[in-house]
Structure 1
Amino acid sequence: MNESSEPLPSAGDVRRATPSRRGLLRTAVTGAAVTTGAWALGTPPATAAPAPRRRVRPATPGAALRELCAGNRRWRTFRERHPHESRAVRTEVVSGQHPFAVVLGCIDSRVPPELVFDQGLGDLIAVRSAGEVLDEAVLGSVAYGVLDLGIPLVMVLGHQSCGAVSAAVHADETGETLPAHIQYLAEQIKPAIDHSLPLTARVDAAVTAQVGLVRSRLVAEPDLAARIAEGRLAVVGARYELTNQVVREVP
């Protein structure tokens, strides 16, 4: 992301693309939040809070992308606002959520989406798996955000020096079988490895390629593709650079 108001510097155009019904799952989650009492010992009784004002979220793919761009600019320039953490917001989100973007990212502890994009409670659906690997649970989580919550933007976010991608490249090069379920991750990431590149360049290239492959799978999902065709959804790829904290587009 650059310092201008334009989102995500890229070598290609950002793919552009009303909130939907409230499903049973959403009702169940909200109901659980409402009925769960304060369980911590010594928790003081709640005091009256001012009536919260509902936030107006970005409602289009472009507006959502610009908000993420602005948040990343604040993060990387040490001007974070830490928005939407107040008592009023905590009260507001008890009754429901209205996030404006799904960020499908890696589990790496150095890349938490809410920090990288300087967002707060109720702003993002953060779906995380090692190397952004897709399975049914991950796909279902993304679909829930889009179809049930009406989110207009999905971002697939890879990152520099990804450990899952490094492990996949290592296993591919050596033939080593990785322990437990880590081998599954390596096999899912393997199609992103470019064997024509020197070994020293394969990990970084595979990070970018993996983002592109995951994005391609998402845009091919029929329910998501229909929303993209209607202009109600965009699915974009990006990667986070640990060295300078910039998020940039992956075409």
Structure 2
Amino acid sequence: MPRSSPTVALAALLAGNERFVSGAPDHPNQDAARRSQLAPGQDPFAVILGCSDSRLAAEIIFDRGLGDLFVVRTAGHVLGTEVLGSVEYATSVLGARLVVVLGHDSCGAVAAAREAVEHGLKTGGFVRDVVERVTPSILAARAAGLTADSDIIDEHIRHTVDLLLDRSRTLSQQVEAGEVAVVGLGYALAEGNARLVTARGVALDEQEAPEEATASS
């Protein structure tokens, strides 16, 4: 069962992504029986905090179905109180064992924040707020001497993971207790693969057997 531990949950996601990349998805839990089964309540095994980019549909790229994933999406996967509350609800009330920050290459929010740092902020309205929330990641990347787009994207993913745990005492306590893990994944738009960038509460090289990882929830 993917929800039996954070490690199994992560392995299930990565196995599903491998099926998606290979062009042989199982499309699990997407039938009428599953829909009826879930009508009384939900039981997701993972939370996906992802970018709102239209090319980043979590259930598709991880080959999952109804009720498997609790998905929260904002431009540039930026955090606000409503996002933190949603993540805490999924782990504390629904019992999800894994929180994933899902970033990707060619992220418009990251590109806009990088442009703002280098040439000044040109956006207005609430888009400006998104750019300002991504800016600390750009500054941290610059301080570390990172210039490649892929390295800056990874830095923003790591920053979001750190910010989640810094701002949510509930989540940090769950990770310390071994109940939940928080990981950052970077998604490649052209290739379709998701790779591990950072992890808290589970080792980056810690994997379950394939037959366990692909078990349906």
- Give me the TM-score of the superposition, normalised by structure 1: 0.74
- 1:58–1:67: 8 Å Cα contact kept in structure 2? no
Match of 2:208 in 1: none
Match of 2:185 in 1: 238
CA distance in 2, matches of 1:167, 1:225: 30
* Greater strand share, structure number: 2
> Secondary structure of the residue that 1:95 maps to in structure 2?
coil
Q: Which one of 165, 183, 193 corresponds to residue 219 of structure 1?
A: 165
Match of 2:111 in 1: 166
1:64 aligns with 2:3: no
CA distance in 1, matches of 2:13, 2:150: 23
Match of 1:119 in 2: 64
CA distance in 2, matches of 1:171, 1:129: 19
Aligned residue identity for 1:214: T
The number of residues matched between the two structures is 194
CA distance in 1, matches of 2:60, 2:44: 15
CA distance in 2, matches of 1:213, 1:195: 13
> Secondary structure of the residue that 1:58 maps to in structure 2?
helix
Deviation of 1:177 (Å): 2.7
CA distance in 2, matches of 1:250, 1:198: 15
- 1:57–1:98: 8 Å Cα contact kept in structure 2? no
Match of 2:202 in 1: none
CA distance in 2, matches of 1:122, 1:135: 24
Pairs within 5 Å for 1:86-125: 86-125=31-70
1:84 aligns with 2:51: no
Show CA shifts across 1:22-44 (max 9, x none). xxxxxxxxxxxxxxxxxxxxxxx
- 2:3–2:96: 8 Å Cα contact kept in structure 1? no
- 2:146–2:152: 8 Å Cα contact kept in structure 1? no
* Greater helix share, structure number: 2
CA distance in 1, matches of 2:150, 2:18: 23
Pairs within 5 Å for 1:42-57: 57=2
Show CA shifts across 1:167-207 (max 9, x none). 111122111330211111111111111336586x2x43221
CA distance in 2, matches of 1:176, 1:148: 40
Unaligned runs of 5+ in 1: 1-55
Match of 1:250 in 2: 197
Q: CA RMSD in A?
A: 1.4
Equivalent pairs: percent with the same residue? 40
Cα 1:58–1:250 shift into 2, 3 Å: same
1:144 aligns with 2:89: yes
Pairs within 5 Å for 1:126-141: 126-141=71-86
1:178 aligns with 2:119: no
Unaligned runs of 5+ in 2: 199-217
Task: Give the greater-gyration-radius structure (CA).
Answer: 1
CA distance in 2, matches of 1:176, 1:212: 23
- Give me the TM-score of the superposition, normalised by structure 2: 0.85
CA distance in 1, matches of 2:121, 2:170: 38
CA distance in 2, matches of 1:57, 1:93: 17
